[in-house]
């Protein structure tokens, strides 16, 4: 049996002995050290308090304390899940909302090329089916499903469909969103609700449904696509700014609540990306205007967001959760640090 190196309480007659003698455990020593035991053993294995220290803490002892992590069941399950994810990384089961155009389409194509099983979501079943058929030529298994994020049951419908098709879910990409320019004094209740339902409530309910399945499996990844407007709002986008700021906060809250279940939740805040939704705002802008907007002097491409999404659902980001990564060509680098 392996003992802690904390000294036992020596008798008065033995206190004059050498330091090494006081710190040495011998076969005829008492079965319980009278000073201290290593905290991990004592806490994790109270049934062994009257016996010797457990053999599970095999890390080198320093100053009498073990630096080994307590071997809990939660850690064991998570480690096993990580190994499984690595072995089956070529066949991840991924849901992409808003997956028929822009960033969502780029993500779905990226995963299809990697051989993943992808469920593409769109407001209309015909569009989802058409894009899924196009993406199958890249080699992955791609299916389409109709999903309106304004529907309160959208989460259960989408996640249930993924489980029926692929037997589970490994990653959820909350990408779908709408972008409207309305000032605070002009926004209507209908405009506000429409933006919030699509950009915030929909991702929240879909994440909740996915997390219930992931929790049973012991692992999962959720990536929310927000915007730099959620970090540095612009005028005349009141509802959009608020919805994206809420999505960033939802990311942090979800990460805290789901970490013990082995589920990581992260967020991406893109700058202006060349997508059909952003095209009306960036068409015709001069190079000087672009340079003032982004130090890299260009707008981003959907594929550049897809690669960051892939990083966040891979084991390369295994120690990241609750983070928001800005992918904006340096736009926010111009913002003052408060």
Query: How much is the average pLDDT of 273-302?
Result: 84
Domains in the chain: how many in total? Answer: 2
Quick check: is 7 in a domain? no
Q: Is the pLDDT of residue 21 over 50?
A: no
- What pTM value is reported for the model? 0.73
CB 300 within 8 A of CB 270: yes
- Better-scored residue on pLDDT, 82 or 251: 251
Where is 117: in which H helix or E strand? strand 117-122
**Local structure of 139: helix, strand or coil:** coil
Rounded to the nearest angstrom, the gap between the alpha carbon of residue 203 and the centroid of all alpha carbons in its chain is 14
Q: Which residue range(s) make up the domain with 49?
A: 12-66
C-alpha distances in angstroms, 205 versus 136, 154, 155, 198? 28, 7, 5, 11
- Better-scored residue on pLDDT, 41 or 125: 125
In angstroms, how far apart are the furthest CA atoms of the chain?
92
**Local structure of 311: helix, strand or coil:** helix
C-alpha distances in angstroms, 180 versus 36, 229, 242, 302, 310? 64, 12, 12, 20, 28
In the block, residue with structure tokens 């913002």:
335
Active site residue 240: yes
- Tell me the torsion sign for CA atoms 255, 213, 220, 306: negative
Q: Is the pLDDT of residue 22 over 70?
A: no
User: Percentage helix, strand, coil, to 5, in the chain?
Assistant: 45, 15, 40
pLDDT score of 140: 87
pLDDT score of 289: 80
Q: Do 231 and 96 sit in the same domain of this protein?
A: yes
Query: Among 26-40, 94-108, 123-137, where is mean pLDDT lowest?
Result: 26-40
Q: Do 166 and 22 sit in the same domain of this protein?
A: no
In the block, residue with structure tokens 């904390």:
6
Query: Which of 66, 83, 111 represents a domain boundary (last residue)?
Result: 66
pLDDT score of 276: 83
Q: Is the pLDDT of residue 33 over 50?
A: no
Q: Do 134 and 241 sit in the same domain of this protein?
A: yes
pLDDT score of 337: 60
Q: Is 306 left (phi over 0), alpha (psi -120 to 50) or beta?
A: alpha
Residue 284 banded pLDDT, cuts 50, 70, 90: confident
Q: Do 111 and 22 sit in the same domain of this protein?
A: no
Q: Do 84 and 206 sit in the same domain of this protein?
A: yes
Q: Is the pLDDT of residue 125 over 70?
A: yes
pLDDT score of 143: 98
Q: Report DSSP letters for 267-289, one per residue.
A: EEEE-SB--TTTHHHHTT--HHH
Give the rounded percent of residues in the chain with a pLDDT score beyond 70.
Answer: 72
CB 102 within 8 A of CB 238: no
Q: Do 37 and 102 sit in the same domain of this protein?
A: no
Q: Do 36 and 178 sit in the same domain of this protein?
A: no
pLDDT score of 334: 83
**What CATH number is associated with residue 207?**
3.40.50.720
Catalytic residue among 240, 263, 266, 278: 240
Query: Among 16-25, 93-102, 118-127, where is mean pLDDT lowest?
Result: 16-25
Tokens representing 286? 């001069």
Q: Do 81 and 62 sit in the same domain of this protein?
A: no
Residue 237 per-residue DSSP state: B
Query: How much is the average pLDDT of 291-315?
Result: 94
pLDDT score of 89: 54
């Amino acid at each position: 049996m392996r003992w802690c190196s904390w000294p036992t309480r020596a008798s008065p007659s033995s206190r004059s002995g050498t330091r090494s003698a006081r710190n040495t455990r011998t076969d005829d020593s008492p079965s319980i050290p009278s000073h201290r035991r290593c905290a991990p053993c004592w806490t994790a294995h109270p049934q062994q308090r009257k016996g010797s220290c457990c053999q599970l803490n095999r890390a080198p002892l320093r100053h009498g304390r073990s630096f080994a992590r307590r071997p809990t069941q939660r850690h064991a399950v998570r480690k096993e899940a990580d190994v499984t994810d690595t072995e089956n990384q070529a066949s991840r089961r991924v849901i992409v909302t808003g997956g028929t155009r822009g960033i969502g389409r780029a993500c779905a194509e990226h995963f299809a090329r990697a051989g993943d099983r992808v469920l593409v979501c769109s407001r209309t079943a015909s569009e989802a089916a058409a894009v899924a058929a196009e993406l199958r030529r890249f080699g992955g298994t791609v299916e389409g499903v109709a999903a309106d994020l304004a529907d309160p049951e959208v989460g259960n419908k989408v996640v249930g469909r993924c489980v029926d098709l692929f037997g589970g879910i490994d990653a959820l990409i909350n990408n779908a969103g709408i972008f409207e320019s309305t000032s605070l004094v002009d926004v209507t209740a209908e405009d506000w609700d429409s933006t919030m339902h699509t950009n915030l409530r929909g991702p929240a309910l879909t994440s909740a449904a996915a997390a219930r399945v992931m929790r049973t499996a012991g692992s999962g990844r959720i990536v929310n696509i927000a915007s730099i407007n959620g970090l540095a709002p612009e005028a005349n986008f009141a509802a959009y700014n608020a919805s994206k700021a809420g999505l960033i906060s939802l990311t942090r809250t979800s990460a805290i609540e789901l970490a013990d279940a082995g589920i990581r939740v992260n967020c991406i805040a893109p700058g202006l990306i060349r997508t059909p939704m952003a095209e009306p705002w960036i068409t015709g802008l001069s190079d000087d205007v672009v340079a003032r907007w982004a130090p890299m002097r260009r707008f981003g491409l959907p594929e550049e967001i897809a690669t960051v999404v892939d990083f966040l659902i891979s084991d390369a980001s295994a120690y990241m959760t609750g983070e928001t990564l800005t992918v904006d060509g340096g736009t926010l680098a111009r913002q003052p640090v408060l």
